[in-house]
């Protein structure tokens, strides 16, 4: 990676990816410093929600495993308290979005506002040359344009570029992603070779601060007046089908748990923040010709209005055209797409190069 030895801070989550990234950096001869972030008070959260099972991402168990890996690799290791900033930038945002009838993406917020922004500052305080993470993404220097570009990972099934659209391009010269050119199977093999206890650790698919991934119970525990979020479930023609106990329990595209029945499958089309009405309809009704996104962050400006967009991490790239307006971007799909969801991220690409992205404000019917 480099000809000279560098001081590198590696963000360690206690999983196989960050553990292997640390091992690779150490193997290359760099001075590696491991750091884990304490993002919330585990004991308080468990007591508040009356949950005693808590082994999701960033848990105490993960911190212990990160410490074990650091001991095996013989690198310094520290745990930093990021509870306040994580609550402000991620947890409070998560709750507020659902209460305003939007579907949040806390992982994007965490990467942008906590991991890179604040952890990079800590790395600089430690006189480190770089901050490294276990993300599956590539940071490539474009010799022709004399700038760094974020590109999709070699392992497209594990690619995490979608979550990094909020990255400040000024940060790119100081970021390392050792796993960008590796397949997941290769990473586990390397972890075994380095005798890391995380080599076969399962991946966590849950939101780290939500026990058992039950976000509805978590949000409900934060609400003073629960009746204020009750409302009607209606068709797009306005016919009342039933009532619900909380608008925050619904997201666009949802089919299960609606509490109403019809001869044909019903899906959530819209959640109205003001009236608390949840509109349902057919799968065909979910399709949109485009979207409007706001708070756009451009890592690299597009060369053409013809780009591609991802409206969820798990979906394919969608060919589209974009119109860059003063406060937002208007996106028109080549073909109608289903379940465009306000609050989710719209992330733009040229080929495998990440251009940037923003937050979906509305869908265009």
pLDDT of 244 strictly over 60: yes
- pLDDT tens per residue across span 216-230: 889 998 998 889 999
Q: Cβ atoms within 10 A of the Cβ of 40, count? A: 18
Task: Output the pLDDT for position 211.
Answer: 74
282 alpha-carbon distance from chain centroid: 29
- pLDDT tens per residue across span 180-191: 999 999 999 999
Quickly state the pLDDT bin for 2 (edges 50, 70, 90).
Answer: very low
- Annotate 110-130 with b (16+ C-beta within 10 A) or e (fewer): bbbbbbbbbbbebbeeeebbb
Q: Which of the residues are catalytic?
A: 110, 208
Q: Where are the domains of the chain?
A: 7-213, 225-282, 286-364
- 7-213 CATH choice from 3.30.365.10, 3.30.70.141, 3.30.420.10, 3.40.50.620: 3.40.50.620
Question: Which residues have CB under 8 Å from 347's CB, separation 6+?
Answer: 161, 162, 165, 309, 310, 354, 356, 357
pLDDT of 210 strictly over 90: no
Quickly state the pLDDT bin for 57 (edges 50, 70, 90).
Answer: low
Residue 319 CA to residue 100 CA, distance in Å, equals 30
- pLDDT tens per residue across span 97-110: 999 999 999 999 99
pLDDT of 291 strictly over 70: yes
Can you give the C-alpha Rg of the chain in angstroms? Answer: 22
pLDDT of 328 strictly over 90: yes
> What stretch of H or E contains 316?
none
Scan for tokens 């890391």, then name that residue: 196
Task: Output the pLDDT for position 97.
Answer: 96
pLDDT of 48 strictly over 60: no
Tell me the C-alpha to C-alpha distance, in Å, between residue 241 and each of 78, 209, 212, 278, 282: 55, 34, 30, 10, 14
Q: Strand 240-244 vs strand 231-235: parallel, antiparallel, or unpaired?
A: antiparallel
- Residue pair 150/172 in contact (Cβ under 8 Å)? The answer is yes
Q: Cβ atoms within 10 A of the Cβ of 226, count? A: 11
Domain 286-364 is of which CATH architecture?
Answer: Beta Barrel (2.40)
Task: Output the pLDDT for position 346.
Answer: 97
Judge if 225-282 and 286-364 fold alike in CATH terms. Answer: no
Is residue 147 classed as helix, strand or coil in its secondary structure? strand
- Give the mean pLDDT of the chain: 92
Q: Report the predicted TM-score, pTM, of the whole model to 2 decimal places.
A: 0.92
Task: Output the pLDDT for position 50.
Answer: 54
- Residue pair 45/58 in contact (Cβ under 8 Å)? The answer is no
Task: Output the pLDDT for position 358.
Answer: 97
- pLDDT tens per residue across span 331-349: 999 999 999 999 999 999 9
Task: Output the pLDDT for position 53.
Answer: 43
pLDDT of 1 strictly over 60: no
Residue 251 CA to residue 343 CA, distance in Å, equals 10
Q: Taking the chain, what is the end-to-end CA distance rounded to the nearest angstrom?
A: 48
Ranked by mean pLDDT, the top range of 1-5, 209-213, 268-272, 323-327 is 268-272
Task: Choose the weakest-confidence range: 15-19, 60-64, 190-194, 262-266.
Answer: 60-64
Domain 225-282 sits in CATH at 2.30.30.280
Task: Choose the weakest-confidence range: 41-45, 105-109, 279-283.
Answer: 41-45
Q: Which of 180, 178, 198 is nearest to 188 (CA)?
A: 198
Task: Return the percentage of the chain with pLDDT > 90, whole number.
Answer: 79
Mean pLDDT across the stretch 133-158? 96
Torsion angles phi and psi, residue 129, rounded to 5: -80, -30
């Amino acid at each position: 990676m480099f000809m000279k030895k560098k001081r590198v801070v590696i963000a360690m989550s206690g999983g196989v990816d960050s553990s292997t990234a640390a091992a690779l950096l150490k193997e290359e001869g760099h001075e590696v410093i491991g750091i884990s972030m304490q993002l919330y008070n585990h004991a308080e959260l468990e007591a508040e929600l009356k949950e005693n099972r808590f082994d999701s991402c960033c848990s105490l168990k993960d911190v212990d495993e990160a410490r074990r890996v650091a001991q095996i690799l013989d690198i310094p290791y520290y745990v930093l308290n990021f509870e306040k900033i994580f609550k402000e930038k991620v947890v409070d945002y998560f709750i507020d979005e659902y209460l305003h009838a939007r579907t949040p993406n806390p992982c994007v917020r965490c990467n942008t506002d906590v991991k890179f922004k604040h952890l990079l500052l800590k790395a600089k305080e430690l006189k480190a040359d770089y901050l490294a993470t276990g993300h599956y993404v590539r940071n490539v220097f474009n010799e022709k344009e004399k700038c760094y570009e974020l590109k999709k990972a070699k392992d497209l099934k594990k690619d995490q570029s979608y979550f990094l659209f909020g990255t400040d391009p000024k940060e790119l010269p100081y970021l390392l992603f050792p796993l960008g050119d590796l397949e997941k199977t290769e990473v586990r093999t390397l972890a075994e070779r380095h005798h890391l206890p995380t080599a076969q650790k399962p991946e966590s698919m849950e939101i780290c601060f939500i026990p058992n991934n039950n976000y509805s119970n978590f949000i409900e525990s934060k609400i003073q007046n629960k009746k204020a979020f009750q409302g009607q479930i209606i068709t797009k023609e306005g016919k009342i089908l039933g009532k619900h106990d909380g608008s925050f329990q619904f997201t666009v595209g949802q089919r299960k748990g609606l509490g109403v029945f019809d001869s044909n499958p019903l899906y959530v089309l819209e959640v109205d923040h003001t009236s608390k009405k949840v509109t349902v309809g057919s799968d065909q009704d979910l399709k949109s010709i485009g979207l409007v996104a706001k708070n756009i962050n451009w890592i690299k400006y597009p060369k053409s209005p013809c780009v591609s967009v991802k409206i969820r991490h798990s979906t394919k790239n969608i060919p589209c055209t974009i119109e860059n307006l003063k406060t937002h971007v208007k996106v028109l799909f080549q073909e109608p797409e289903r379940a465009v969801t306000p609050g989710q991220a719209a992330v733009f690409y040229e080929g495998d190069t990440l251009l940037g992205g923003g937050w979906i404000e509305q869908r265009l019917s």
